[in-house]
Chain A
Amino acid sequence: MATIAASRDLGARVGAYRLRFDRAAAWLAWASGLIWVVLLLRGILFTPWLLQPGIENELMPLEASLRDLGASHGALWIGGGLLLFAAVDVGLGLWLRQGSGRARTAAFIRAAVGLGLCAAYYLITRDFVSALVLAAIQGGIVVFLTRNSGLMLAYPSMVFLGIFFVVPLFSVLAFSLGKGTALGTVNLDAPGLHNYARLLSPVGNSGLVYVTIIARTVLIALANTLICLLIAYPFAWWMARQPERMRNILMMLVMIPFWTNLLIRTYAWLIILRKDGLINNFLMDVLGVIDKPLEMTNTLGALLLGLVYGYLPYMILPLYTTIERLDKRYIEASSDLYATPWQSFWRVILPLTMPGIIAGSILVFIPSVGTYVVTNVLGGGKIYLIGNLLEQQFMTSNGDKAFGAAFGVVLTVLMLIGTMVYFRMGRKDAYA
């Protein structure tokens, strides 16, 4: 909320400089014009694909697909089009700089047509990257013309998220409606919900295997979150009570494992736990209390140990931040009011540190649902979780990528619901 209000405020102040927005839009139009001119010059002078349609030169994807488009209409048609585009963009830029209202309308129309052309271009040629770059420029023109500086500031991140988040997410969604083929590709000709139906149908003698796998993974992730919370809370409390110098050192110590890759740290645990590992050697050769090595790897215990070890810092850090900021006078007040230590913890401290608990739990829970490395290395591949199933669908020869995508969608939706419920709960508690 606050950011929107601030940007509105900023927008009001910038209102006086409306012309500046139009001028920025003009620069963008010229940039777009420059692309056409460069394409035209390259096509005539350097790699003459426009003049010799048959040449096998190294063409950029945009040029190659434009050439293919033009092949049925003659190359001149494309050349003329480029020239026209360049003229329109340059003229539009000049007009916009004069600050006329009509120019702004014209530019809006020009940008809208541009977006439509980009979509058409993608649909015909399937050249995604070029279409996206061009569309981003058209979008930029629109954003400048709205004279909304908030939108303008957000635009780069919107484009970034659009490319690297929204598009992949929707591709997964689209894949999940298709059908995996024997060749390892996905056939999208007859979209339907069959993959989701398969997810919910029994398999062989084992019942609802896929639901079981999801439930098992969620349970392990929950157990991990709970253990992390139980270990991290007292530790964060103690850490927050240390003198400042000590606190910084402790903080460093918590962070140091982050500097090493999780895979390497997990393998380190393997060396400690395995049959000829440190613990077994110590118990057998030094203490002599056992004569057969303990089997500690490939167990649920080893898996949970690895998970807790890997994700504990994500729980400690947010907890520490909230506990450190906790106003101690509240605790004093509660004991002044004859609360027992247990009561003041339960009724005062816990609600006040709830934001840290929630943040930490989400930071631990979500990655541990998707965990794959730890479960495979320390679980020895014996405990089969969602990560293994996804690998089976995407990385093995009999996998069905469409089915795997459906699994991914379900997982994303479950996470989303879980996070939302959690936030709701947290809010109620915090204000109770």
Chain B
Amino acid sequence: MKKSMLSLLIAAVALVGFTSIGRAQPALDSELYIYNWDAYIDMEVVNRYEQEFGVRITYDTFASLEEMFAKIQAGAEYDVIFPSDFMVARMIELDLLAKVDKANVPNISHIAQENLDAWYDPGAEYCVPYMWGTTGIAYLVTLERVPEGWSALFNPEEAAYYAENGGINILDDQREVISAALKYLGYSINETDPKHLEEARDVILNAKQYWRFWNSADYQDTILISEEVVLSHSWDGSTVAAAIKTESEEFPQGKWKHITPKEGGVRYQESMCIPKTSPRKATAEHFINYLHNPENAAASSNFTGYLSANKDAAEFYIPELKALLPSEEDVARMEWMKPLDEESMRLWDQIWTEIRAAG
């Protein structure tokens, strides 16, 4: 008995030893350049990585995807970037991204298959999914009438109620606002039919007078927390970020809650990609793998309020995030935002200009 225990132990040690040799660390570069959305990662995790592996990380942020795109196109040497779905598709088409070597990212096994198979990069050939979410409505928990769907923004009677009780913020984002109106009307969010788009425009123009703010840049910090409004068109993660910052004894889970509209809406996902210009690909892959260690992934989600693509991170989530986890039916109602052809882009842009310039 004892002997067999001993041999088992030896075998175990040998096995661990061999696997660790087999998985020997590749030589890491001494530095790494990261380019991410502002406040879209837990810096603690980044600092831990620096200390653990002796890699000095330069962390830059961008405020819009176009800004990032322009920089990468101009040949900026970043190692890991965090573009959103349609931008990944565009960058793949323009041959700006290198394919991630999955053997170097074993933690990819924690990512839900559904996230790996997103339309823009099926099978995650180029990029590793990072975070994902849906666009919906944030509301103040003290409201008597809880919103259920897009009608809270677009039905003049409902919108007037929320406007009177404190005001509404709308995302200053062409695709998001028109998509929401299209969903309210029961159309696809990637609509190209001018008639349907004009219908959406008229819905928006009718409701516009009830919206106090057009802010998509920093509304969770400047408008939601100070309760300038009671209702906001919102990305789920931003709602949670506002909830985290309004936690109190009376409201242990914050004063803001998120709903996924019953009509459905926009679904998005950010990926971690390596630009072709990166001279430190192996280190970049190593870093990506580190971020997808479930605990690290959860740390970033708990900090930013956005859901991780990492399915095993859920058990480490804070209560606000656990409450945000959408049901399968919710997800099924959502639609991916896809790139439009040139003519439709022009149409959308003109309709948006009409909406914004009116009144």
Chain A residues engaging chain B, CB cutoff 8 angstroms? 180-185, 203-206, 209-210, 212-213, 216, 270, 274-276, 295, 297-298, 380-382, 384, 388-389, 392-400
Contact = CB atoms under 8 A, between A and B. Distances in A.
Contact of A392 (B67, B174, B358): B174
Interface stretch (B212-220, B233-241, B297-305): B212-220
Contact of B173 (A203, A205, A206, A396): A396
Q: Give the size range of B's interface with the partner.
A: 35 or more
B42 interface: no
Interface in B312-359: 339-342, 345-346, 348-354, 356-358
B357 A206 contact: yes
Given A298-B213, A381-B172, A397-B86, A389 B353 contact: yes
Contacts of B173: 396
Given A183-B94, A381-B214, A396-B173, A276 B227 contact: yes
A182 B175 contact: no
Contacts of A400: 345-346, 349
Contact of A395 (B64, B73, B226, B228): B64
B258 interface: no
21 contacts: A181-B342, A183-B90, A184-B66, A203-B353, A204-B198, A204-B351, A205-B354, A206-B358, A213-B357, A274-B226, A276-B226, A380-B212, A380-B214, A381-B172, A381-B215, A382-B213, A392-B352, A395-B66, A396-B64, A397-B65, A397-B339
Interface of B: 64-67, 69, 73, 86-87, 90, 93-94, 172-175, 198, 201, 212-215, 222, 226-228, 339-342, 345-346, 348-354, 356-358
A210 B222 CA distance: 30
A295 B174 CA distance: 26
B345 A182 contact: yes
A297 B229 CA distance: 12
A204 B358 CA distance: 12
- Which secondary structure dominates where chain A touches chain B? loop
A398 B346 CA distance: 7
Nearest to A388: B356
Nearest to A393: B349
A185 B94 CA distance: 10
B357 A209 contact: yes
B357 A384 contact: yes
B223 to A, nearest CB: 9
Given A380-B212, A395-B67, A396-B173, A182 B226 contact: no
B66 A212 contact: no
A384 B357 CA distance: 6
Contacts of B213: 298, 380-382
A115 to B, nearest CB: 26
Contacts of B90: 183-184
B172 A398 contact: no
A203 B339 CA distance: 23
A181 to B, nearest CB: 7
A395 B174 CA distance: 11
Contacts of A216: 357
A203 B66 contact: no
